[in-house]
Every structure is written in structure tokens, then in C-alpha cells.
Structure 1
Amino acid sequence: MRDDTELTVCVLGLGYIGLPTAAVIARTGARVLGVDVSPQVVETVNSGRVHIEEVDLDGLVSGVVARGKLTASTQIAPADVFVIAVPTPFDADHAPDIGYVLKAATTVATVLKPGDTVILESTSPVGTTEKVRDFLAQLRPDLRLPGSEGADVAIAYCPERVLPGRILVELIDNDRVIGGITPRCARKALHFYRRFVRGACVTTTAHAAEMTKLTENAFRDVNIAFANELSRVADTLGVDVWEVIRLANRHPRVNILQPGPGVGGHCIAVDPWFLVHGDPANTPLIRTAREVNDAKSDHVVAQASALIEATRGPVACLGLAFKANIDDFRESPALKVAAALARRFGDRIRVVEPYAAALPSAFDGTGATLTDLDTAIETCATMIVLVDHDLFRSVPLDERAGKRVYDTRGIWPDQPRAPAPAPLRLAS
């Protein structure tokens, strides 16, 4: 790998991970080319602007583009390091689809040369990095790839582990797990990440690094499923689940997460299925957690529908994003719930989403409309809280007085609770 002043890096995929990663690397002085299939994304980045909402990203991209350290293109070019950050969705049967990864590898193969390093960051099933190696070997038999004698190309896996809204901070401060197909591959990737990562960089095998990423997200999913299941029990028993969790968490060895309308995003809502697909016989807990969290959205639709049917007039659905204060709607349970309500109640539904300029296509033909928070407060007597945006948290109690509220995020704790069920009568 060249020294820091001459290093060239190519990042394939300029989405929620790829663009921040490219910008952070460019800030170190490397020359970075971002490759994306969307001409609109390429044009936006080359103009020094961003197409996604992320804290401080606009200023960073503007700066590195102005200094000529970051450019974007739909076409790849030779580089010293290639970072693949493309989507890895699943199909209708929850089987992982690594087609975008292999397509990116095909693109890299056209310019790959001895001495280069290829790093996969996309969350992937165990064994994907080796599949990339095998794929490149077929396309470029002239190169000596890891596993062959005298290998002159390094291939490694290093998953991102950032939180939307804190991506730039966590890209730098979080520890990184770097898995090489060989120890030499891991060392070369380690040298690269130490350019911009302040957290610890730990090397291991590619298989271990791939499973580590899936394990992190499955752990979160299982724990969220416990909270979501508790919330359903609390609804049945007429108990305030937020109070129960707050009190239970006073135990020194209990730390229950917060429930919601489901689980969204391209990580936690997707990645556990990769483990289930890899070993279905030994993952009943992970599968059940996924099913619990998916079913929570249906439960919320049913609860909200009952409330709406008992009222008249317009209804405000607050939020569409999969988490607070971002514009990412991927796998969003809030969007799923709001769209289902719109299909059922039509033009009674008013959607409030400060990070959207227009309603997504899921609302086409429903009659639902996008509105602002002040208008919703003035015109809607019924409010369904689906996302805990800071804007929604700012609504004081007096502005909510007299309204019927279904709060799936627990951001309005002073809202009156549903009455508890009648006490059980024991047989004499």
C-alpha cells in the first residue's frame, strides 16, 4: 500500500454507510472515488451536497469535494484500496441476496492489480468474503489471490457498526473487527483502517468477523423482541409498560430495552435472518425474535385501528422513519403501520414526517396527506405516535389535552393510561 499522501481509495456504494465512509477517508488526505449506480447521487456528491440526512455530513462532504479529495462517478477507476458498501437484502423466503456484492466485485475485477486491497463492509452471510475471493479468481485468473502461493492481492471483511444520527462520530470512535481471508490480508486492512479509526482495530478471520456483525444485530433484535412482547402483555392487562420497564430496570442486573411499533432499518430487521438461513435447526430463538418484532407492527395496526374506529375526524400518524431524527425509511415499522392505516381509513390519515418532502409510494391512492406538526395538533383529535423524533417530544401536555393518543414510543409519559382490566375472580 502506498504512503498516506499517495493513497487512492475507491468506495463502491454511496448510501448511508458508503458516503460517510468515503468522506471520512478523504478527510485523511487520501484521494477517494465514490462509485454509485445512480447518476443523481453522483451529481449531488460532485456538487458538494448530500442526498441523505446525517449529522454534519453535509459540511464534511462539501469540504472534501472542494479540496478535490472526494469525487463521484458511475464508472470505476484503478485504486489501491476498494471498499464495497452495497446493500445485502433478503428475498421473500428470508434467504440472503448477495447479488449486489458480487456485482460490485465484478466491477472491481476490471481494474484490480497486484498489491491492491479489497474490503467488504456490507453485512453479509458467513462465507461471503471467500465467495468474493472465488468470484474474483474466476474473473481474474492472472492475479494471485489469498489462499494461493505468493498472493499479491489482499481481501478482508470489516463490517460497519454505526448508529444513524451518529455515523461520523462512530466511524472514527467505535472499535472495528477486521477479518482477513489470511492473516496477511487482515494486517493490510488493519493498516488502512488505522488511518481514520481511533477505536481499537482487532484482527480475526473473515468468517469470525462476518458472524460477529450478525451476532451484534441478532442480540439487539432478541432483546427488543422481549420488550415488544412485554408491551403486548401490558396492553392486555391494562398496565403502563413504560412504567414497568422503568421500575424493573432499577434492578442492578436488569436492563430492558424500549418497545416500539416493530424493528426497522437495514441491519436489525434483516441481518438475524442470515444466521437463521445459515443454520435453521439451531436458531429457534433468533427466528422467534424476528417473528415477534415483525408481528408487533400488526398488533399496533390493530390497536390503532380500534382507536380510530371509535373516533371521528382526521387522525395524525407521527413519523415514518425507522428511528428518531433521520430520513431513513428502510424496513420501517412506522411506515408499515401508517401505510396500513391509510389503506384502511383513507383521507382521514394525516402523516407528519419532518424528514420527508413527500409521502412514499406506499401511500399512493390512499388519500392520506403529508402535513406539518402544528397543523396536525390543530386539526386532529386522534394521534398515533410511531417515531420518537425530537420534534414530537417537544409537544407540551397542554397541546395534547383532550386528544386521544396511542403512543408506541413512550415519549408522552404523562398521557392518561387505559383503564386496567377487572381483577381476576377466583373460584370458591
Structure 2
Amino acid sequence: MPNLRLPLAAALLLSSQAFAADPPDVQLAAIADAVDPQALHATIEKLVGFGTRHTLSDTVSETRGIGAARRWTKARFEAISRECGGCLEIVTPAQNITGKRAPNGVEIVDVVAIQRGTGDPGRVVAITGHIDSRVTDVMDATHDAPGANDDASGTAAVLESARILSKRRFAATIVYGVLTGEEQGLYGGKVLADYAKAQGWRVEADLNNDIVGNSHGQDGVNQNDVVRVFSEGTKALETPEQASKRRYNGGELDSPSRNLARFVAGLADRHLVNFRVNMVYRTDRYGRGGDQVEFLQHGYPALRLTEPHEDYRNEHQDLRTENGVRFGDTIDRVDFDYLAQVTRLNAITLAALANAPAPVQGVQIGGAVTTDTVMTWTPQPGVAQYRVWWRDTTAPQWQHSRSYAANVDPGHAVLRNVDLDDFFFGVSAVSADGWESPVTFPGDAGSF
């Protein structure tokens, strides 16, 4: 009898082709369903077991310190890659850094898995979390710093997303980044953003997950159905000339990062059960930061995802009990069902972005002193239709849309009797199989 078993690579190809035949909502539902809270628990348990993962801690030991944690992460990515027939390329970009919190210098090493796109591999969407941990004294590299929530939770979301999405194929490249050095100065974000720039990647999005595993706040509020998504309002690299035009015509609420946040919020509303996004119109929390900041400084759209009610008794604390209050970032403080929801949101967002056409380029707007609004943009391959969006200038989400076939008067639309002065506008691209890009706001303020 003939052997009917297919080689792994061939089986994966057929499997991905079957996935691709499903409509977007079916694919996203399957991706969300695949997230396993037990896998997230296993990852955090392993990371906590390294004692401390402080950036300045031991790099030689096989059982303790940042070096052991990074090597385990690399091995985990390699195991995931074997399961998908070698679909992940694992790289470890590194830089020697000296700074206020690393006065004697330290090698910052990121562990990164790259899932190359099948259609436009130069276009990149990324998910990141930082693996390093700390206690009260940011320079204390010896005492136990479990870092279960800050930020083993983010690392777990990255690894679980890689496990699930590596079983499928996407047009764009997905990058899974486990970063080092966040607590010492956002160095891991810089290393990966520098690497992206050197590789010539066109980074469309970075989803930075930092403190995403606790649903019980210090304020006494327990909330497991929402995640905060922080996004910058104006581009970090905006020039004075661009700022002047933006101040006059608008765009403070429509940077690529802000429209990426709207995209994420829409996915949560449509595809997740009892889970929503609280959009926060800031780059990060007051006086604090995350690795997404370095992506923004490089001109890449980026978001920070964080739980809605933090417990500061768990963050950056020595393990101790004072007056009956326990301090420390331990694994028992992590709500794994909540972390699974955050991970689902990340995974479906990466899939939706990587399947969709690239964000529309060259979007411009006209129609002053007329009753019509005229939108123009640069036509691009792989697009079946474009959707022109508009909303009240005080509305947080896009409210109205009109679709235009890509093969009819491409790159041009006229909204009759829709007054340019009264609304904000944008354009998205839709593929033949129904995947849609984030909305691009006109001009420099909104360009991806």
C-alpha cells in the first residue's frame, strides 16, 4: 500500500491554503480559539524560575539570570519553528550600551523570530514584550525579581502568538520580538528598531505588550474585559512645517498609531467576546514609558497595550510583606484567563494586518470652497476596493464610509455634498477576500 503521509512542509502548505480559503471572520475566530491559557502559564512559570532576569544579571548560568532566560526563549522559538517546517528565522540583534542605568556598559540582546511574508515580505507587523525584570532598586541585579506580570506576561503573549500564527501563512512579514533592557532605558526597543531600519523593513505596526496579565487593581477594581491601548497623537518625527499644517487643518488625532489603535479596537468589538479596547490618547502613562517609544522615535507606528487597573504593589518591588501587605511581582498575581484575552487581541490584530493590503499611500484631500470633498491616493496592487471614511471632528471612531472599486477611476473619489470643513476623512484598502487595512488620514500627519 502506498505511503500517503505528506512531508511536513507540504502538509503545512496545504493547511495554510485551506486556512486562506476561509473568510476573515472565520480565520480570526479560529486564531482566537487557539490561544491556550495553560501555555501562557507555562511560559511565565519558566521565566519566573530564572530567579532574576535583570539586564545586568548573570549571562553565563544555565539556570539563573538574563542569559539563561534569553537562551530558553531562543530555544522556544526554535521549537515553534520546527513545528511549522522551519518557517521562523531566529535572530539575536545586539548592541553594547552604556547609560545612567548601565554605567559600566552591557550587551543588550533581543531574541527575535521572523515569519517571512509570502507576498510582500518587506512589509512588517511586529509584536513585542520585554523579558528583563527588576526590584525596587533598578540597579539590583542579584535579588529575586520574578517579573511575572512586568513583563513575563508580555513575553508570554509574544510566544503564544508565534505558536499560533506560525501555523498559517501571511502576505506580510510578522516579527515576534522578546526584548532586553527595557527597565534600564528602553534599550531593547532601540535595538530592534535599529535592526528594522538596517534591514530596510517597512514597519506598519508594533504592538508592545507591557504589564498585560493582571485584572485586579490596587484601586480595588477587578476588571477582566478591557485593555488599555496607548497611541501617540502626533508623529514623534514631525517637522515644524508639518506641525504648522497639522495645527491648521487637523490631524492631532489621526497619526498612523492612532488609526492603528482604532483598527485594534474595531477588531475587539467584532471578533472577541466580552473584551474591548479602552483607547488612551497618550503615548504612555505619565512619567513612564515602554519599548514602543523607540519605535515611534524611528518613525514606526506603535502602540502600548497595558491592563486597565495596575497594582503598583506588584511592580518594581522587592519581595516582602509590610503591615500585612504583600509586595512583589509573583505568578499568583497573574490572571491567565485575562492574559489569554489580551493575547487573542494581539494574535487577531497581527493576522488581520498581515493579511490585508498595505495602508493606502499618498492620500490627499481637496474641495475647499465647494460643497463636495475630493479624495485622491496612490493606487496599489492587490486591492479590490478602496473605502473612503469620514467622521465628526469630535468623534473617536470612524462613522461613515463609501466604497469604490479599484478598477474604476482608481485613486480618486468625490463625496457629493459632504462638506470638507465639517469632518475628518481617511481611506482604507480592501482585498478581494475581504481583508481591510487601517485607515490612512490625508497628508503627512496620517501617512504610514
TM-score by length of 2: 0.27
Of Structure 1 and Structure 2, which has the larger fraction of its residues in strand? 2
User: Higher relative contact order at CA 8 Å, sep ≥6: structure 1 or structure 2?
Assistant: 2
Report which of the two structures shows the higher radius of gyration computed on alpha carbons.
Answer: 1
Of Structure 1 and Structure 2, which has the larger fraction of its residues in helix? 1
TM-score by length of 1: 0.28
